[in-house]
Structure 1
Amino acid sequence: MEYTHLGRTGLKVSRLCLGTMNFGPHTEEADAHRIMDTALEQGINFFDTANVYGWGENRGRTEEIIGSWFALGGGRREKTVLATKVYGDMGDWPNEGRLSALNIRRAVDASLRRLGTDYIDLYQMHHVDRSTPWEEIWQAMEVLVAQGKIVYVGSSNFAGWHIAQAQEAARSRNFLGLTSEQSLYNLLERSIELEVIPAAEYYGLGLIPWSPLHGGLLGGVLRKESEGVRRASGRSAETLAAHRDKLQAYEDLAAELGQEPGDIALAWLLSRPAVTAPIVGPRTLDQLHAAVRAVDLKLDQKTLDQLDEIFPGHRTAPEDYAW
């Protein structure tokens, strides 16, 4: 496994981040424990979760599964760079969601209880809260850092101007501010190249892409469809219909290179500016092993150019839409 610093910090994390969203809803606790053990064995030290994972009536269940794994000991907590999130509603009563100082205080304590730990390495805002001033948010985060409950702060699903707004407010308080941004980013969805990536690079944030295979569509969906292994439905089916020609060209290129489509998608992300670690969310051990392969796959410039031809990206703003 390769390691890199998370943004401009001294924190070293693996080039893959283990996503845990499936733990609970799709992956039983015992299987989740095996996946996490195997991730550590493979050198993955960066785990991502959120307080709302488990969803619906089971919100918080994913954090509980991670907590029961930490409780097994053996240095599991000490070896793990743990990232979780705050923002989503954890109940129906006022102040059980968003980024008020009150909810941040309550939410971090609840996450710590579920996770069975006394600190969170990376505490991420799951979404921007336009109704809460940055002075309030940063004051709350500063208190948590001073109390030793969190070490670093990150964002998720922020626009470029949100990152700038947050960092300038943090700078005025002599606070480190954001160290990472977690965004939707893959070959099919490259919108963040316009402004989010330039902002992340300027402020020294590590980029943590989620949905690197775009819900499996970049994992060889057409081949699996022809083999009767998988059939897209809902939004995935709509995206597949809109991009079938591109996906066919992509899978043909993968076959020509003798590589799995999913490996190429991850290797492409690992080659992109500012990217620290794509989030892989395996439901099974086989899916985890498949993801680890991609770290060793280096794409040459010819292949990168071919991928850009199939899935055109964006120049940074404003050039992409100005001239």
Structure 2
Amino acid sequence: MNYRHLGRTGLKVSPITLGCMNFGELTDKANSFSIMDTALDAGINVFDTADVYGGPQTPDMPKGFGISEEYIGKWLAQDKSRRDRIVLATKVYQPMDIGPNDKYLSAYHIRRACDASLRRLKTDHIDLYQMHHIDRATPWEEVWQAMEQLIREGKITYVGSSNFAGWDIALAQCTAASRNLLGLASEQSLYNLTARTIELEVIPALRHFGTGLITWSPIGMGLLGGVLKKISEGRRATPGLQARIEAKRPQLEAYEVLCAELGESPARVALAWLLHNPAVTSVISGPRTTAQLLGNLDAPELELSGETLATLDQIWPGPGGEAPKAYAW
């Protein structure tokens, strides 16, 4: 496994991150344990979850929240040596109850949410504590005060963000610098061949501040996983997926033809494309089964030629470069 530094930090992480979002909702405990065993044996050292993962969510009351963290905690408890072999990442922001302070990024909620995650994870520290979304109603001075306290208490080591805009990253880093803090070690963003908006401002901001990029939804919620071939073989698509397929059918047809010519699976090509970008530190693979995980493990070894990368840009064009040159002189 070719480990990479997480941004400007000294921490080394695997190019594939194990996404644990499905644990408890689509994947039961036994299969979740099997996936984690396989990931650890393969050298994947980043396990990513969130306090809210584990079941269907509603705006009024989360259902099944915390189950993903609980599964990871029970798996860690089976063998105490596992804890020091992984970079454990979780998140804070989403509603965890119906109270007015049971969500978002107030210092009040961050402290309570962190303690609750530690209990579920059966550990005394979180390696990467990520803000799941931006909370523009809470000042950065308050957010960093809360994170600084958790670092001082040894409850978290690094702080990350997720779903931040470029200017949110800049504000976060500048405020952290004023407090003599490292600031954001990483940003977790939606990024794949079908969703390239972060190339405009998020990636340039991350590069400027030396912040690592962890990408989620690398196969575009199934679109880039060979969906047309699967349908031709008799699989049924949900109405929502079918509508997305029809909206991008010409591109999907060209993409799957290209992958067939390369002799590679579409999912593997999608992950390899991401990892060719020097801004990308790690790509989240969120398998429902062990077989799905095994199918992605060797994606970092796939070398795509310049010609292939250019063809992928033609099929799935980006926003035209970085802002402002993408839309102005």
**TM-score computed with the length of structure 2 as normaliser:** 0.96
What is the Cα deviation at residue 313 of structure 1?
A: 1.2
1:41 paired with 2:41, answer yes
Task: Please name the residue that 1:257 is paired with.
Answer: 262
Question: Which of 183, 189, 202 is 2:208 aligned to?
Answer: 202
Task: Please name the residue that 1:105 is paired with.
Answer: 111
Alignment of 1:71-82 (within 5 A): 71-82=77-88
Q: Measure, in 2, the Cα distance between the counterparts of 1:86 and 1:176.
A: 19
What is the Cα deviation at residue 301 of structure 1?
A: 0.6
What is the Cα deviation at residue 239 of structure 1?
A: 2.1
The percentage of counterpart residues that share the same residue type is 61
1:150 paired with 2:156, answer yes
Verify the 8 A CA contact 1:186 1:269 in the aligned structure 2. yes
Judged with a 3 Å threshold, the aligned counterparts in structure 2 of structure 1 residues 112 and 74 are, in CA distance, closer, same or farther, namely closer
Q: How many residues of Structure 1 are paired with residues of Structure 2 in the alignment?
A: 322
Verify the 8 A CA contact 1:221 1:230 in the aligned structure 2. no
1:166 paired with 2:177, answer no
Paired AA for residue 315 in structure 2: I
Q: Deviations over 1:38-97 (max 9, x none)?
A: 101011011100000013321001100000000001511110100000000000011101
Q: Secondary structure at the match of 2:24?
A: coil
What is the Cα deviation at residue 237 of structure 1?
A: 2.5
Q: Deviations over 1:91-150 (max 9, x none)?
A: 001110100000000000000000000000000000000100000000000000000000
Worse-superposed segment, 48-57 or 162-171: 48-57
Question: Which of 125, 131, 134 is 2:131 aligned to?
Answer: 125
1:280 paired with 2:285, answer yes
What is the Cα deviation at residue 229 of structure 1?
A: 2.3
Paired AA for residue 255 in structure 1: A
Q: Secondary structure at the match of 2:102?
A: coil
Question: Which of 275, 294, 300 is 2:299 aligned to?
Answer: 294
Verify the 8 A CA contact 1:97 1:103 in the aligned structure 2. yes
Q: Deviations over 1:168-213 (max 9, x none)?
A: 1111111111010000000000000000000011001111110000
Q: Deviations over 1:227-286 (max 9, x none)?
A: 11242431x333211111001000000001111000000000000131011100001111
Q: Measure, in 1, the Cα distance between the counterparts of 2:243 and 2:232.
A: 17
Q: Measure, in 2, the Cα distance between the counterparts of 1:312 and 1:2.
A: 29
Judged with a 3 Å threshold, the aligned counterparts in structure 2 of structure 1 residues 320 and 301 are, in CA distance, closer, same or farther, namely same
Task: Please name the residue that 1:10 is paired with.
Answer: 10
1:29 paired with 2:29, answer yes
Moved over 4 A (4+): none
Q: Measure, in 2, the Cα distance between the counterparts of 1:239 and 1:177.
A: 37
Worse-superposed segment, 74-83 or 45-54: 74-83
Paired AA for residue 229 in structure 1: R
**TM-score computed with the length of structure 1 as normaliser:** 0.98
Judged with a 3 Å threshold, the aligned counterparts in structure 2 of structure 1 residues 74 and 138 are, in CA distance, closer, same or farther, namely closer
Task: Please name the residue that 2:235 is paired with.
Answer: 229
Task: Please name the residue that 2:59 is paired with.
Answer: none
Q: Measure, in 1, the Cα distance between the counterparts of 2:154 and 2:200.
A: 36
Q: Measure, in 2, the Cα distance between the counterparts of 1:86 and 1:218.
A: 29
1:67 paired with 2:79, answer no
Worse-superposed segment, 58-67 or 236-245: 236-245
Verify the 8 A CA contact 1:17 1:44 in the aligned structure 2. yes
- Which runs of 5 or more residues in structure 1 are unaligned? none
Q: Secondary structure at the match of 2:293?
A: helix
Paired AA for residue 244 in structure 2: T
Q: Measure, in 1, the Cα distance between the counterparts of 2:7 and 2:291.
A: 30
Q: Secondary structure at the match of 1:319?
A: coil
- What is the RMSD of the two structures over their aligned residues, measured on CA atoms? 0.9
1:240 paired with 2:245, answer yes
Q: Measure, in 2, the Cα distance between the counterparts of 1:99 and 1:180.
A: 17
